[in-house]
């Protein structure tokens, strides 16, 4: 057995919910350690639309989720502005959709307090020229776009700044139990295999689709629906606002603008395994056929990749709803002492990306009650440091696009990157698509961790552009070796994992130009560089 730690609360799961719980605990002065089996944001929290819900989507079917979404929408726009683009949103009725639903939806929005304002069709088409010219009704709502990557990183970083600890690439292999009480967790380092014990007064299970797996370790029955959704990314951003279809929530009815691309989806299929991130061409083609009812020219636009993730949907009893559309998007907070007679364990699941802060507040309120802490929540008031800080890099000789991108993405690494750039040897652009410099890549490599291009991507946008890493992954790897940040073996391993992951997302959309890109990637890495698939173990 390796190291032993002691803290007040262990948080399992490094997605948005776990990050939110960690930050709320830290702001209330409660010592906490977060453990995550992979990297921060590896799971559901970055495998979604990135939609900041106004609540309007759920107004008819799930009033509680709609109310929570709208209230949190307003709070997050004030407290995490650096990760949110206030795009606004449109709800659009197309021919053959149910006319009676419009009135139900309007009435529900009014009752909840969600502003839904009808605009002239001519105005909507001027704002969004790719919309179906036969649209019948258009309403504006306060939707927005969330940068999920920066959000989870910044929330976690702020928690760490207030004293919290984070252990990534540490999987929970057992809950430590003594006399019907959870006393902590045993975790295993994904790279070294070393096991460590963390003792605590409480454990919060915020593992998203994996919450059931955690509960099963102590024999607790926990019915979680893993509802897998597929999404596709277009090579350019063709809509200014979020575009929703004005009907009961279904497949392929949302287009979300994100940075320089548009994200489209999603589907809903219940799966057994939360690690099922599989992609299906037939499913994609069905999405595109449905999507062209909103955007008729959808087949003429280039897709650069697709991805999938599982929504953790909770309900007490089983369901025959294979799509998961009729299961509430509301949160579920379970005290296992009351439900199962096991003290020291709480589970928080369900909810939406938009409601992560509220989920954390409710969870930490319960934690405080159990620990006898009287501190109240302040996360609805305290702003997370804004990524769009002004004044950085103004004197550095860089391309304007790279400079502007750095201003937004520097985050907690801003000072380190600025100093490195001023030295003059790190301003080379590694990724032209996303204007990522070596200084950014270098700052994203952990001092005591593995060189992992996927982790760097989540922190810099390396390889997120149209070429999907074809030209920048080997540059980043070679620079890491040249600058002593990785061994040749580590760089080869990182390249293998990055290319496998990018090819998976590209392969399912590989027609036209993207098919050519996949062939070029294979030519560079397998022919020119001699890389063999499966040569390095996947972690």
Binned at pLDDT 50, 70 and 90, residue 447 comes out as confident
- Residue 121 located in a structural domain: yes
Of the listed ranges 76-80, 271-275, 357-361, 367-371, the least confidently predicted one is 271-275
Into how many domains does the chain fold?
2
pLDDT at position 134 over 50: yes
Q: Are residues 123 and 236 in the same domain?
A: yes
Domain end among 269, 291, 308: 308
Domain end among 240, 273, 308: 308
- Residue 211 located in a structural domain: no
Domain end among 271, 288, 308: 308
pTM of the model: 0.91
Q: Indicate if the alpha-carbon torsion angle 391, 392, 395, 398 is positive or negative.
A: negative
For strand 32-35 and strand 9-12, is the pairing parallel, antiparallel, or unpaired? parallel
- What is the rounded CA–CA span in Å between residue 234 and residue 232? 7
Q: Are residues 299 and 416 in the same domain?
A: no
Angle at 109 between CA 327 and CA 76, to 5 degrees: 80
- In this prediction, residue 538 carries a pLDDT of 46
Task: Give 111-134 as a 3 state SS string.
Answer: HHCCCCEECCHHHHHHHCCCCCCC
- Residue 74 located in a structural domain: no
Question: Which residues span the domain enclosing 430?
Answer: 400-528
Q: Are residues 105 and 236 in the same domain?
A: yes
- Could you please report the per-residue DSSP string of 354-397? GGHHHHHHHHHHHHHHHHT--PPP-TTTSPPPPTT-SSTTTTS-
Looking up residue 287, the CATH number of its domain turns out to be: 3.30.9.10
Q: Are residues 259 and 121 in the same domain?
A: yes
% of the chain surpassing 70 pLDDT? 88
Q: Taking the CB of residue 326, how many other CB atoms lie within 10 A of it? A: 14
- In this prediction, residue 223 carries a pLDDT of 83
- Residue 521 located in a structural domain: yes
Q: Are residues 88 and 235 in the same domain?
A: yes
pLDDT digits (tens, 9 = 90+) for 322-374: 444 445 557 899 999 999 999 999 999 998 999 999 999 999 999 999 999 99
514, 536 in Cβ contact below 8 A? no
Mean pLDDT of 288-292: 96
Q: How far does CA 387 lie from the centroid of its chain?
A: 17
pLDDT averaged over the chain?
90
Q: Are residues 296 and 406 in the same domain?
A: no
CB-based burial, 238-250: b 16+ in 10 Å, e otherwise: bbebbbbbbbbbe
Spatial CA neighbour of 24 closest among 348, 469, 485, 268: 348
- What is the rounded CA–CA span in Å between residue 244 and residue 256? 9
Bridge partners for 9 per DSSP: 32, 202
pLDDT digits (tens, 9 = 90+) for 425-440: 577 889 999 989 898 8
- In this prediction, residue 407 carries a pLDDT of 46
């Amino acid at each position: 057995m390796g190291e032993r730690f002691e803290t007040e609360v262990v948080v399992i799961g490094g997605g948005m919910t776990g990050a939110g719980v960690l930050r709320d605990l830290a702001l209330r002065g409660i010592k906490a350690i977060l453990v995550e089996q992979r990297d921060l944001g590896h799971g559901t929290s970055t495998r979604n639309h990135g939609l900041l819900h106004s609540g309007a989507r759920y107004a008819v079917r799930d009033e509680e989720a709609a109310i929570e979404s709208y209230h949190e929408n307003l709070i997050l726009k004030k407290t995490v502005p650096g990760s949110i683009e206030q795009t606004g949103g449109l709800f659009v009725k197309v021919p053959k959709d149910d006319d009676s639903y419009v009135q139900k939806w309007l009435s529900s929005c009014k009752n909840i307090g969600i502003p839904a304002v009808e605009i002239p069709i001519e105005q909507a088409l001027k704002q969004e020229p790719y919309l179906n010219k036969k649209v019948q009704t258009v309403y504006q709502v306060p939707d927005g776009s969330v940068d999920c990557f920066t959000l989870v990183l910044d929330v976690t970083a702020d928690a760490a700044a207030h004293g919290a600890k984070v252990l990534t690439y540490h999987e929970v292999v057992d809950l430590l139990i003594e006399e019907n009480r959870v006393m902590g967790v045993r975790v295993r380092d994904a790279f070294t295999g070393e096991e460590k014990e963390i003792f605590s007064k409480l454990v919060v299970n915020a593992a998203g689709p994996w919450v059931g797996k955690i509960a099963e370790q102590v024999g607790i029955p926990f019915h979680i629906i893993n509802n897998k959704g597929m999404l596709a990314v277009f090579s350019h951003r063709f809509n200014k606002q979020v575009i929703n279809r004005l009907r009961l929530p279904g497949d392929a009815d949302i287009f979300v603008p994100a940075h320089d691309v548009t994200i489209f989806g999603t589907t809903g299929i219940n799966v057994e395994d939360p690690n099922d991130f599989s992609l299906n061409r037939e499913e994609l083609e069905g999405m595109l056929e449905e999507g062209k009812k909103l955007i008729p020219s959808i087949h003429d636009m280039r897709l650069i990749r697709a991805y999938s993730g599982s929504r953790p949907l909770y309900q007490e009893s089983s369901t025959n709803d294979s799509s998961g559309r009729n299961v509430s998007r509301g949160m579920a907070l379970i005290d296992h002492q009351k439900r199962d007679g096991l003290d020291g364990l709480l589970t928080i699941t369900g909810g939406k990306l938009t409601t992560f802060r509220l989920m954390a507040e409710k969870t930490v309120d319960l934690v405080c009650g159990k620990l006898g802490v009287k501190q109240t929540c302040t996360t609805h008031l305290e702003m997370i440091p804004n990524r769009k800080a002004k004044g950085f890099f103004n004197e550095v000789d860089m391309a304007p696009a790279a400079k502007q991108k750095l201003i937004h993405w520097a985050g907690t690494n801003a000072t380190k990157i600025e100093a490195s750039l001023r030295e003059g040897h790190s301003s080379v652009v590694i990724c032209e698509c996303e204007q990522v410099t070596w200084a950014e890549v270098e700052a994203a490599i952990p001092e005591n961790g593995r060189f992992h291009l996927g982790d760097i991507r989540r922190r810099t946008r390396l390889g997120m552009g149209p070429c999907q890493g074809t030209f920048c992954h080997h540059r980043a790897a070679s620079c890491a070796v040249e600058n002593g940040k990785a061994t040749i073996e580590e760089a080869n391993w990182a390249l293998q994992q990055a290319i496998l992951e990018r090819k998976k997302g590209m392969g399912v959309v590989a027609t036209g130009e993207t098919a050519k890109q996949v062939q070029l990637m294979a030519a560079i890495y397998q022919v020119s560089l001699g890389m063999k698939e499966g040569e390095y173990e996947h972690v």
